[in-house]
Every structure is written in C-alpha cells, then in structure tokens.
Structure 1
Amino acid sequence: MDEKKYLVRTLQGSGWVDKTRSISSITPSGDYYIVAFKNSANDFRYGKTKVQFFDQPRNFELEGALVRIKGKSIAKWDAAISFGSYVRLFSESTTQLEKITDIELLTDLTERADTKKIVEYYFELARLSDEANPKMAYLSRYYKDKLGYIQPESVGHALVTGDVSKRELLCDVPLFPFGINPSQRQAVFNALESQISLIQGPPGTGKTQTILNIITNLVMQGKSVAVVAGNNSAVANVYEKLEKEGIGLIAASLGSSERQQAFFESEYKLPELSKWSLSRELLADLKAELKDISERITRLLEHNNQLAIVKEAYSRLQLERKYFDKHFDILPINMKGLSFFNRWKAPHILRFMADFMHQSQNENLSFQTKFKWLYKYRIFKFSDFQSLNNDIFKGVISEYYQTRSNELLDETTAIEQSLASDDFDRLLKRLTESSILIFKDFIADKYQAHRDIEFTQKNYKQNFDDFLKRFPVVLSTTDSIINNKNQAALFDYLIVDEASQVNLIAGFLTMSSTKNIIVVGDMQQLPHIPDSKINSSIDAKFSIPAGYSYFQESLLSSLICLFPAIPNTLLKEHYRCHPRIIDFCNQKYYNGQLIVMTIGKEDPFKIVKTVKGNHARKPKTGNGYFNVREIDVINNEILTEELKLTSSDNIGFISPYRAQADEAAKRITTAGLVADTVHKFQGREKECIIFSTAANELKKYIDKPNLLNVAVSRAKNRFVMVTSPNVMKNQGSNIGDLLRHIEYQTLAPCIIESKTISIFDCLYKEYSTVLNAFRSKVNDKSKYPSENLMATLLDEILDLELYRSFYYYRDYPLHLFVNDFSRLDPEQRKFANHTYSHVDFLLFNKLDKQPVLAIEVDGYSFHAMNEKQSKRDKCKDSILEKQSLPLLRLATNESNERERVVAELNKLMSAAVS
C-alpha cells in the first residue's frame, strides 16, 4: 500500500509493527479487517483490536527544519505525513515512522545566514584534515555521521550563536571530597551556575582535584558527565583518583574502538555497596555538620592563603635584605630612641623616609621642619639629623627591613594561632571525610534498585539512557567523545582538561556533544599546533570572525575571546614546586598571582654550562638538535650528585627537542630515569628535572614562553639547567630571564659585582605608594602632571606581553643603584651620593631586579632655560653613562613619547647579553 496515503500497524507479541509496505489491501469487515499481503495469495482476518488502520493522511510541514527524534537521531527529511498520533518521515532512500510526541523540529544552523559559514568552516576543516592525514581519516565522518546537526541545547549551538545560558545552583552545600581551597571552591560554584565556565589551572594548582569535586557534585544531582582531553593520560589520571577512593565504578573508560572493546571486556559488575549506606539519622547529621563546616571554613581558607602570602613576603624580604646588607654595611637607626613615639611600624618609617628625602634638598633642617617632625613623628633628638646624608637614609631603610621582618613574623604567628584556635586542620579533614561519606551513601542508594543490564560495544548506544544511569561518568578524548554516544544524546556536562592543547576541529565536536561545558586549561602552557598541511587561506574563504579560527585559537582561547563575560577562575594556590622554582613562573607568566603553599629550604637551582664550542648537531632525520656534550656532562657530573639525593625514578630529563630526548634515552643508562620532550612531560612532575637546551645558541624554539613555563614547573625540588655558554641572557627572552632569576635567587657574583645595584623591590613596592601620596602634595606642580602621564604610558607599554619582563619605580635614588663609584669624578660622586639625587623613572628586569633604563621627564622651562639645572642634568647623564645604564630624556614640549620608549626597549632586547 502507498505509505503516503495509508498506515497499517499490526500487534505482534507485545508490540505494534508497521506493515503498510508489505500489505496490498485492507478491507473492514464487521469486527475484523481482511488483510491481503503482497507475498501471499491468501487473505488474512485480523480482529480490529490487533490492527491500527489510518487512511486520512495530513501533511506535516517541515519547512526545512531538522527533525529530532527522541533518543534516536537528528536528521533532515524531505517530507512528512501524519496519521493520527504518528508521523511518517520520508527521504530519497527510506521512510521512518515515529510517534508525533517524539518528534521535535529544530532550526538548522547551516541555513541561518549569520551562522552558516562558521558551521560549514568546521565541516570543511574536518574534510581537509582527513585528506592531509589519510591514515587517521575519521573527523569528516564524525562530522557527517555522528554530529550531523547541532542541537539547540548544546554548547556548540551557543558557540555559533553567541547565546550562553545561566544555570541555577541546584545544591545548597557542595561536596568537596577531594580537598578545597578558595579558588577551587569558586571554580565548583561557577561550573554549577553557568552553561560555559573556564578554569585556568597553572602548574601544580590542583586541576584534577577541582575536576573530581565538580564530578562529585554533578553526579549527586543526577547529571551525566563526560571528561575528555586531547590525550588518554590526562583522563586516566582522573580515573585513577576515582578508583583510589573506591568510586571508579561510576565511570566508563571509552574513547577509541580499541579502548571501548577493552572496557566492555573488563569486569564492570557492581560490587557490594551496602557497607556505604548510612542510616537516615546519620546522613542528616552529616549533612548538618557539613553545612556548618562549610560556613566556617570559607573564612579560614582565606586566612590560610594569607598565611602563605605572608610567609612568601617574609622570604622575599630576607633575600632582598641580604642584597642590601652586602652593598651597604649600615646598622639600622633606632627610630624609637629618637622620638617619644614608641610604636614605629613599617608604614610610619616609610612616611618618614619620604619626608626625609624631600627635606634633604636643604643643607640643614629648618626650625619649621623640626617642629613638624616633632608634631608628626614625635622626634625630639635632632642632633642625629645635622646632616641629611644618604647614610642616615640607608640607616632608616635598614630599620624598615628589620621592623617589617618582625611584623611579618608576628603576623605569621598570629594567623597560625588563629587557625589553630579555630581547629582549621581538623575542620578541613572533616569536610573531605563527610563529603566522601555522603557521596558514597548516594552511590549505594542510586545502585540499590539498579537493573543490571549487560552492555556491549554494539548495544550500549541503543540503550544510552540506561548506560548513563549505570555509568554517569564517561572518560574519553576530544576526538572520540562524539563516537561514544548515540547521535541524538547530549551529555548534561562535559569537562575538557588540557584545553589549551585542544584544537577547534575536535573542540567543536566536543562542544556539540554536551549541554554544558567546563573548560580546564592554562593559556601559559603548551598550545595546540595547527596542521601545517592545511592551508590557512580557508579562514579568508569563509570570512571567519575573530575567536573561531582553527589556526589562531585553541578551545580555551576561543572561549576566552568569544565570551569574555563567562566565569573564568584562576586556580591560584600552588602545591608542587619549591617556592623559588615556581617564583620564576609566577613572576614571568602569571603576574605574581599564584599563592605558593610549599616550603623549601635548600637552594633548588643549578646552572651547568658546557665548555665552549659548537657541540649541537642536526639529526639525520627529523628536525631540531642533539648535543652529546650536554648528555655527557649529565652522565658524568650531574647524575652522580643527584642520585645521592633521590632515586632515579624521581629524576626527569627533558629537552625542547625530540632528537635530544631520544639521544639521552640511549646514552643515559641509569635505570628508571625518564627522558622525554617538554611537550610529553606536560602534566607530569619529578623531584629533580634536568633541562637540556641542546642548541648552540638562543633559538626561538627553545625560548617559547609556554615551553619554558612547562619545563621549569615540572621540578618539585631541584631544577638543573644544562646549556651552552653561547646561550645569552638577552633582555626579555625567556631563557635569559630564567638565567637572571636563578642568578638573583642564588646571590650570584655577577649580580653583586654588577655596575648597578639590583632594585630593592619589596621596599619600593611599599614605599612608592607613600612617595606618590607625598609627591602629590609637595612636588613641582608644572612637572608632576607630565610625570603622571609618563607613568600611565609606561603602565600601558609594560603591560604588553613583549615587555612584561620589565617594571619601573619613580624617583629612585642614585645612591641606591649606582655600584661603581671608581670612575666618577669628585663632583659626580658627590651628586650620586646626595640623598635627593634620583631618576624620574627607573626601569628594571623583574627577574634579577637589575636596572635596564632610566627615563627623565624634563620640563622645558625648568631644564632648557635653567643653567644650574642643565649642569645637574649633564652630571647625571655622565654618571649613568659610566654605569652603562641607558638614559632616555623626554622633554615636555616634545612628542612621540610612546615610539621613543618602545624603540629604546626594543634596542635593549635586541642586544646580546652574556
């Protein structure tokens, strides 16, 4: 019978079957139907209760929409006809009958003018990727057969349309069975409240812990969660942690066909869970206790962070104080002994320093100044201030270091006592214990009445709802996840780890597989590498807007670019590296935002330079370099010492180059020691990392910021760098800044003996605020606005990624950074030693605190038209020249300040520095 005119369904067993196509005629006869089949000469009589016959078809308008069939598929159909409560769908090759209640019409994004090109762009990229890599050609098939079309609830739809939804937080008190800190707590809340949330996890900040806590809370809400990454090792780490807590039973490790096969062949039957069940009374008590602890712990966690910040500040101050004492053998001036004021705190000393520096322009203290100091500082003993020289000023600085050190120690003790009195450690432990008990009770209850279905690789997608009830957590890769579900299904949530390495071809498939996404990664770690076989001209061909380009963006950077308002949490608390090791990454790549929770006593750094010579060689096949001389040094010198401190399996050898890693693996015979590239070491850690640069000189490739950030942050307690003496410390370079950081942290002779003294950063960070406030009251009003404009300009320039190695301070005294007085004549020596002599702006490298550039803002009328000032300017110019410190003078009546500052910085960075 014509399927466009009739529908005939017969009851067979317990279900109804569509028989329209196999029937030639059907005739009502009282309580029966007489049915004639095409393949039979006989007629058959069916009771009307066993036949459903429809002969009044109605057109079902599709209007070019997509048809989503509940739990089955999404596809385009050519036409549709309804028969009562059923709809028959037609295409060129087939027909399909569905309940009208299971049919949903969706807008096709490939037909919308504003979204068509973006969707087609990713489909075309998948095709080109398969063409370029025929042995791994599956992406275009996944796009065509698995993705098909983009569902409106999916994140893929949000990506293309720009429409992101908010969510309601469904749990009053989130669980934290895997630990908690303020950043992780915020990340969990953000993940539960937004369709898209980002978590940026610098090295050692507990990304996996955060992912596990999010999984726990989502499963508690009855949600399905997929966890994916660009490689299997990242998700394997998640499974290992679940298994360690005994809750691996909630997760299915899928991925490629081979991994699926391995999973379904493994034993995944439910274990005995009754021991996890809690009485309702005990469960209620635990939840009440958890709520109480959660309310109290938030404040205590912030206090614990503050404790780490104070300890780090103390450590920095002590290192800086060592530099001060090495350069200036001056005892602290006891301010309490000079005044009636016996509570001289660090801020009081800083205010007095600003006042002292200003008054030092005069030869003696006036009666008016003495009266002001008596009133303001309660100073009565003025005999010590007969001469306002820099020795007194430095004595006050020394007093600041001593006072501030004591304050930080007192603050440390106070916070520790406060945490102890509030029972912080016990509460933290109880929070995690209660969380895991509540979660395990939930699991036991969830599976108590579970119907144990035997899933296979062939049937699990047809029973996907049941599969997700049994395995609410699915582990896979970004390439495979869309092939680990049926076409119409969407995961409730999907977590992407190592998202900076996920490209947008796989990323778009991933986003189209879920209703909500949590993207975890780090923009400062290794990015994805676009396939060089795909021509980037495709971006122009499809007019791709910013944020969508496969060549310019990773999954993480794309979402940051396209959705600046979505929650973006930085995990700040660092738990892996020795404080001085992670301090390099923190200052260089994270703008000092990390809070270091580790403690380190021994010096963690060692730089080993090979003998001079061009020892690097190109491999016969492949790219890069290998350097046998560096490997010999490691074998014969470094490992001998390191193996006295730790076992070989706690030592890692890494290099930017595959050729060097392979050569090391052959030549280093120490059993258990792992040799690999920096790229392959992302996500791993060792007690000691030996970093071999391999190249003869500083190359762009080994100087990549992401690569060096990963390399350094693999080391927990010791970082050994083996390099050529030809690898220079170029200003602003990553390798150069690492060398500078190591030299500063170890009080290297090259820092101490430099012509200029390293900036006293801790001091001036606090002093600048006081000095700025003081300056605004007393400085030359005609010059002050110009200096403010210059400060704003420098802030803008030094915020650019290229110049982030540098910072500046205003009104920095010459006597605090001039180290070589031997070449100065008596007049210059007197000028440089004067307390008030300063440069308007002193730029320095943040890693070794060494001055790199002085800037003077010259008021035209005051400098050019004032002979006395002009003479002072020439004296200052000569002093700085003899210290080999570049000076840039900018007159207030000139222009192009930005261009001149940038040109000077570029000049600094282009010069080779040994």
Structure 2
Amino acid sequence: MNNLKIRELCLSQCNIYYEYIKQFTEHHGKTVTSVHSINQLDDTLYEIKLEKPIFNFDTTYFKNNISGEYYFNNKDLLVKEYDHKNKLLYLKIIKEDLNFSELQAHQFFVINDLLFLITNLIEWYDKHGKTLGFTNTIPLIENYTLDNLYDTTLNDNQREAINTIFNNTYSYIWGPPGTGKTRAVLSCSIINYIKSDKKVLIVAPTNVALEQILYGIIENTEKLGISKNKFLRVGVPSKKFVEKHSEICEVRGLEHEISLIENELKILNKVIKFREGKEITSDLENINYLLADIIDFKENIKNYEAKKEDLQPLLNLITQPLKKYHFSNNSKIIKDAIFKRKDNSCVNYNEKLIEENKLHEVVNINCLRNEIKRIDNKINEISKQILDILNKAKSFTKSQKIYNEIFKDLDDDNIQDKRNLIIKKINDLNNWSIKWKNNIENIAKLYNDDLINEALDEHHKNFEMNRLIKRIKEIEFKRNALLEQTTKLRIQGSQIIAMTIDAYIQYTLKDSITADHIFCDEAGYMSNIKAITLFRNKCPITFLGDHMQLPPVSEVRNDDLNSIQKTFLWSQSSIFFESIFIQEYEKDLLDEYLNKITPTYKIAQQTNLNFTHRFGNNLAQVLDKFVYKFGFKSASQNSTEIISIHTSSNPIEVYERSNQWEVDLIKNFILNEDIKDFAVLTPYNKQVQLLKKNLDRKYYENIMTIHKSQGSEWDTVIFSVVDDSPAGSGKRGAFFTNSLNHKFNSLNLINTVVSRAKKRLIIVSNENFWLRDVEKQLIGNLIKISNNKYIRE
C-alpha cells in the first residue's frame, strides 16, 4: 500500500473503533476512579490515595465534581509520580486558581478516557499519515562492538541478533523470556549508539514495560560509568522508578525552573488577594454608610406616616356620619380632636361652629386632602430613594456569600444588626490586611517589583487590578511554554529517549523526534495501528518481543466478527508492521490476521533468540513443543520451579468461570507460605472477583486476570486455572485454557502466565482432568513436569 492508502485505512479503522467504544463498551470507554483521600504535602503538592490502580496515564485527566471543571496533566497540574502498589498519586498544582485544599476526596475523580487516545491517533493520521513509508537508511554505526557489556559475554545467538540490528534497516528480534533480548541484545545496541554519540528512541506499549526495559539497560550502562544524564524517560514514572532514577524523569528536570515561576505567581496572587481584601473593606464601608442613610430615610418615613395618621381623625370627622352622642357634653370629644390640630393650616378652630355642627367651616376638607396627598408623595419619594440606595449598596457586593449575609433577609427589624455585622467584618478585614501585607512585603523584598510595590500601596486608590491579572496570564503562558519547551529541549539534548507509544503519538502531533535508530520493545503486545506511526521517521527500526505471549488488547468483542474485520489493526501485533507497506489490498492484510499467519518478512530481517537462562530443560522443551517450535533450549543450571496443587473440584456444582475449591487452596497457600513478591493470575474476571471476596483486601493488588499482567514479573506466580471439564461442556468447560483453542490465542495466554514467573510457578487445578490428554494440553504438560507437593482430596 502507498502512504495515502495506509492513511485512509488507519483513519477508517480509528473512526470505526471510536464509534464502537462510544456505543458498545461500558461507560463509553471511560473509567472513573474514585479518590479515597487527599493529603496536602506542601503549598502545591498533594498525595492522592486512589480506590483502584491506574494503568495508563497517557489517557488520564481529572475532574472536580463540584465545579464540573476538568484538569489536564502539564496544563493545570503535573503528575509527578505514581506508587502503583499503594495506589498513591502525587500531583503538583501549576495553575494558581486551582484550590485543592478545599476539595474533599468524594469531590475529585480520576478519569481514564480511551476515546482521548483514539482521538489523538485520528488527528495524528490525518496530519501525518501522508508522510509514512519505508526507507533504505541503514544503521550509521560501522564499527560496532559485540563485547561492550561489563560482566556479560554474549552467546552466538545474541551476537547474531545484534548483527541483524546493525546491518538492516528493519529487524525483528524474537526473544522468549530469559533469552536476554533486553539486558543483553538491546543493552549492547544502546551502548554502541551512546559511544558513537548517536540518538536512540525506545518505545514500549505500557509504562510498566517501559520501566522494566530501562531498569535492564541502565543497570548495564551504570556498570560502565555512563552518566544517566544521557537518558530521558518521558511520561509519568512509578514511585519505585523515581526513587532509583529520578534524574532521568521528565517532570523532575523541570522542577527548579517551574518553582521560580510558581513563586512569582504565588506572590502576584497574594497581592491580588490583598487588593481584593481592601476592595471588599471599601465596599463594606460604602454599604455601611448607605445603610445608615437608609435608617435615616426610614425614620423620615415614620415621621411622615405619623403626620398622616394625625390628620386622619379630622378627615373622618368630615367624611363619616357622626352619632348624636358625639355632640353631647358640649361636643367635648370633637372639640378636643380639633383643638389638638388647631395649628394645622387646614383648621379654623371655632367652638361655636363646632357646637353648631358646622364642621366643614372649621376643617377645610380640600386642604386636608391635599396635605395627605403631599405626605404620601413624600413617603413615595423617600421610599424610591431608599430603593436606589439599597440597589447601590447591593452593587458593592461582589461576593455572593457577603450578599447573602447582608441582603438576603434584610428588613426594618434587623437593619441595625446588619450594620453591626458589617462593622465587625470591616475590623476583621483590616486586621487581616495588615498581617497579609506584612507577609507579602517580606517575600516581595526579594523581587523589588514596581507593580507589586504599587499594588501594596494602600493610598493608591485607583490602582487597576487588570494590570496584575495581565501579568499573571503572561507568567502562566511562560510557565506552560516552559513545560512544553523544556521537554522539547530535553528530548533534543538527550541521547536515549524512552516513552510509551501513546506518549510518542501525543508528542509527535505537534513536534517531531529525530532519532538515528528506534527500538520498539515488547512489540508483541503493541497494537499495529499505533506502531505504524513510527514509520514517519526515516531511520532504522528494530522490534523486540515475544509474539507468542498475549496480543494487544482490543475492546471489540471476540464474537463480533464484523467489527473485528473493520478494526483488526487495533488487535494485531506490531510485528506485522511490514505487511501494511508491502501488501496491495486490505483483504490480504485481513486474511493474514484472521488466519493467524506468522509474518514472513521480505524486507525486514528476523533473528530468534532460542537459549533461555530462566527455564530449565524440562520446561524449555515443553514450551518449545507447544509454543515456540524453533528449538527453544535451556542455557541455565537453575530453572523456574513448578508446583502443582491438585483440587478435586466438582465440575457439576459450579458457578460459571469461577472455582471456589481453587480459591480455598490459594488462600491457605498464601497464608501458610508467607510469600512476598507474588501474583495470582487467572483467565477469568469472575474468578478474580471470587478471589478478592475471599482474600484480605491487602492482597487485591496481587490478584488479576492474565491480560492485566502483561509487562510485569513476580518471583512467584499462582495460576488459578478454573476450568475442569472438556471444552463445550458445563460452566467450566476448558476455554481460554484449552491449548487447541487457537481462535482465542490460548497458548499465548498460558505462555504469558509462565513467563510472568521469575522463580516459581504454582498451578492450582484439577490435575485429573488436565492429565487425561496430556499430549495435547500445555497445562497438562506443565503439571506433568511439576513437583506435586500439595494435594487436597
């Protein structure tokens, strides 16, 4: 295929996979991890205890569930390191307005978004897909050496592999466990490039795999006195890796420059807070004065209402019919009422006229009504003034909290109480601002910044806050540019750059990485659609791995053949890199995938490493018979110990894909043996759940499906087989464990379990079933060569 067809095919498969994830997977491709606790270590560093482990930080971002805001690594915060064992994440806040100190654990979530990764890849192929292609460039080292390791002598097989690497543009080194593909072949190659002052890029499918690779290489380079400054590990390191190799981690190299900028930002934000405090104080003083005016105006209204009330009896005398008794006793009651108001301009006090009941001549009804109307108008005028003052007072409240405290329940009865509250707040703010200013001035002396000094001058009433805000934005831009540029500069200045393939895709969306050679380790587990992006670089590329372990993980269901055919590049191993460039049609690529054809390279060269230092003769022979079939042999005096624990499980009394008998045995074994570095691996999620239900919570991290174990190793691996009846029968009919089940890569699955064990493999199963057809079943052969020490009837 030419580059345009490759681009079109990859974009199509990316878009179809995106829609599949969005529609058919749980939570639409998003995994939300809750937070157990948040612990503030210093002003900007936080320790986040997670409820569940995180496996990929290249697709991770964070959510504040209170504000609804999303936070991103290298933009809002820095993911400094991750302690996988204890599920501790260390975050450094780099965006000043993020107030983590007030966040509760239940308000903060970590989100792993697979769609984010796919979107990156779609954008990558859209932007760079036309640049893909093979090159004829061969490695630039002519006089490479095969004897540059401090305490290791390469065998002929490993020497052949290195010759393959340095004499071909593209190569694949097939290395089963213990054959030295990383610690011998890759290390020797890297050292040759370092001594020749050449640049190398190392990529791996996962962070775990990447760090395992670096451990092996750096162990060899340190013995030769090669400085670790030549290495750069891009991305989020584990806590263990930081403890051993902090100086090569991407984030650690930025800390000094970032801390200087953060200190300046901290001062400016403190100054803003000071100015805001002074503004609030000024606003409260204005509100207090206005509320005093409102109290005065309300007193005026009361006075006018009293005048109006005083005139009402006169109006009643004229407008309401009077009873006879009102005029008895010389009309005393009426006389008294009018006499009290005789000074009013509307009253012509005359006792005789009153006695004659000629009240209309005594009280001028029109004058009286005009007076009451005048009073009403005055009350309305004052009420409007009060409303205007109140609105003006409200305009001074920029804080919703202060607004609620003062105005939400404000009425005539508590207005003075509100003034007392305001006066208290003003006093508190004045005391705070004095202390705050002293604190800032002590820090600001180191900077002697004119803008800061001007902002701290309380007499500068017309200081424009926008000037501070503008300065903060400029510094934040500088910091973000530094984050991006420093990584870029470190990549340019480092000889050995190591990153996951997802980090490579994300980085090369904007910037390119120039390398003299690319090494892709754990290639069998890397998705081909990701690995193809490496061929934008016109340099030699070497793939190293064991394609007889687990293939890449795809979210497409195994029984959805239609979707598999449209997205197969996602679940196809990167060792098929050559096919997409030399095959003419997509159909040929699909046939190669569906028929599980091992690639036969026409351009690239392959070398098989067939001597293992991990497995003894018996185990090597079994694996060669079932898995490798290329003469896989042992070169070790020691061997992985294999122990078989037999359980007489009943295949009739079962729950689907789980085995309580095995769980009980595993629990007893773990408690009695007191093993330290171990994992319990099983093919099925239901068995994982059952194991966790029965075992103490402290062992949860040790229990996982085989797929989750890729890239990790333990001294002891306990294999919970689960299945105990023939394929197609019952709820535990052999499925993923059946060596004849080629459709679902069962041999690869079992081989992965074996390869995860560095010293001891413990198989927990119904031996009687697996030994019935030992010649056809890998598990049966492993049991056959094991030491039967534990038996349960």
Q: TM-score, normalised by structure 2?
A: 0.47
Q: Which has the larger radius of gyration?
A: 2
Q: Which has the higher contact order (CA 8 A, sep 6+)?
A: 2
1 or 2, which has the higher helix percentage? 2
Q: TM-score, normalised by structure 1?
A: 0.42
